[in-house]
């Protein structure tokens, strides 16, 4: 076993990341379905749909048509859609339900993803040891502090919650959701792409080729077969002192 940094290959890291992401998505989807049922999300969604149906019947329109499709209609029909849209947007009932749906969607998505990441990247690594997620276990790679000491629970938490959940997942997800709900336009997609580019740049220029979540937690992903991981700082210091003593003993007088 070598003490030198034995970084895991990009192939192994990417494979482990994809497997872990799949697990996080499954966990989050299950939690979202459970929470949606508990808060009775469908009743609010059905209420909003009933308002759409009300305006369709009142104006004789199809609310599922896109703006491009509406623009192709005769001017009289376009005027009808414009009037319906104006009245729809000013309807206080619809504003309230729409606001509740947006808030519930954001809250439920956030909570589900947070719990999923805590399970995948904090709880399981504490059980599997060496900071290993399921993906890392499968591909025989591990996580440690950059100085070679075993990763701490606090570092796992920072890596998962501040790095993976907050910056790398929730920020892009919120931007996409805002774009979907019409709160933000194409600028949201541009910011998401910029975040992806930033991640690639960070991995390219960092000495350990680490992603943002590893830089925040001061951790590095290593090859478990060839990497020596120390249990504590004391064990690391003892090793360094022993190596220094051996070199001194071998040095000529």
Three-state DSSP string of the chain:
CECCCCECCHHHHHHHHHHHHHHHHHHHHHHHHHHHHHCCHHHHHHHHHHHHHHHHHHHCCCCCCCHHHHHCCCHHHHHHHHHHHHHHHHCHHHHHHHHHHHHHHHHHHHHHHHHHHHHHHHHHHHHHCCCCCHHHHHCCEEEEECCCEECCHHHHHHHHHHHHHHHHHHHHHHHHHHHHCCCCCCHHHHHHHHHHHHHHHHHHHCCCCCCHHHHHHCEEEEECCCECCECCHHHHHHHHHHHHHHHHHHCCC
Q: Which of 158, 132, 176, 173 is nearest to 213 (CA)?
A: 158
Q: Tell whether 4 is covered by a domain.
A: no
Q: Tell whether 159 is covered by a domain.
A: yes
Q: How many domains does the chain have?
A: 1
Out of 117-126, 201-210, 238-247, least confident range: 238-247
Q: Tell whether 100 is covered by a domain.
A: yes
Distances (CA, A) of 103 to 44, 98, 113, 181: 12, 9, 15, 11
Angle of the 187-205 helix axis to the 171-180 helix axis, nearest 10: 160
Backbone angles phi, psi at 142, to 5 degrees: -140, 175
Q: Indicate the pLDDT class of residue 251, thresholds 50, 70 and 90.
A: low
Instruction: Summarize pLDDT for 20-35 with one digit per residue, the tens.
Output: 999 999 999 999 999 9
Instruction: Summarize pLDDT for 142-198 with one digit per residue, the tens.
Output: 999 999 999 999 999 999 999 999 999 999 988 888 777 766 777 888 888 898 899
Longest CA span, the chain: 102
Backbone angles phi, psi at 141, to 5 degrees: -120, 165
Q: Tell whether 176 is covered by a domain.
A: yes
Q: Tell whether 31 is covered by a domain.
A: yes
Q: Tell whether 1 is covered by a domain.
A: no
CA angle 94, 96, 100 (to 5 degrees): 115
Measure the CA–CA gap between 197 and 204, rounded to whole angstroms: 11
Instruction: Summarize pLDDT for 70-123 with one digit per residue, the tens.
Output: 888 899 898 888 998 899 889 999 999 988 998 998 999 999 999 999 999 999
pLDDT at 253 over 70: no
Q: Tell whether 72 is covered by a domain.
A: yes
Q: Tell whether 5 is covered by a domain.
A: no
Q: Indicate the pLDDT class of residue 1, thresholds 50, 70 and 90.
A: very low
Q: For residue 178, what are the domain limits? A: 10-250
Q: Model's pTM, two decimal places?
A: 0.84
């Amino acid at each position: 076993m070598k003490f030198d940094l034995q970084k895991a290959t990009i192939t192994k890291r990417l494979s482990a990341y994809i497997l872990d992401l799949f697990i996080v998505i499954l966990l989050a989807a299950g939690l979202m379905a459970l929470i949606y049922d508990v808060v009775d999300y469908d009743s609010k969604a059905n209420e909003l749909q009933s308002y759409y149906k009300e305006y369709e019947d009142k104006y004789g329109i199809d609310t599922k048509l896109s703006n491009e499709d509406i623009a192709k209609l005769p001017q009289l029909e376009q005027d009808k859609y414009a009037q319906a849209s104006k009245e729809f947007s000013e309807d206080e009932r619809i504003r309230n339900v729409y606001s509740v749906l947006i808030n519930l969607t954001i809250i439920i998505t956030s909570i589900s993803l947070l719990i999923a990441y805590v399970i995948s990247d904090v709880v399981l690594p504490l059980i599997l040891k060496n900071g290993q997620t399921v993906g890392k276990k499968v591909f025989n790679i591990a996580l440690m502090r950059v100085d070679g000491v075993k990763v701490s629970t606090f570092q796992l938490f920072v890596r998962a919650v501040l790095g993976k959940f907050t910056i790398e997942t929730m920020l892009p997800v919120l931007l996409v959701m805002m774009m979907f709900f019409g709160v933000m336009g194409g600028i949201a997609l541009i910011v998401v792409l910029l975040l992806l580019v930033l991640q690639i740049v960070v991995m390219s220029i960092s000495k350990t080729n680490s992603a943002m979540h590893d830089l925040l937690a001061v951790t590095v992903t290593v090859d478990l077969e060839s990497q020596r991981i120390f249990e504590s700082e004391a064990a690391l210091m003892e090793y360094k002192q022993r190596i220094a003593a051996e070199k001194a003993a071998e040095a000529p007088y």
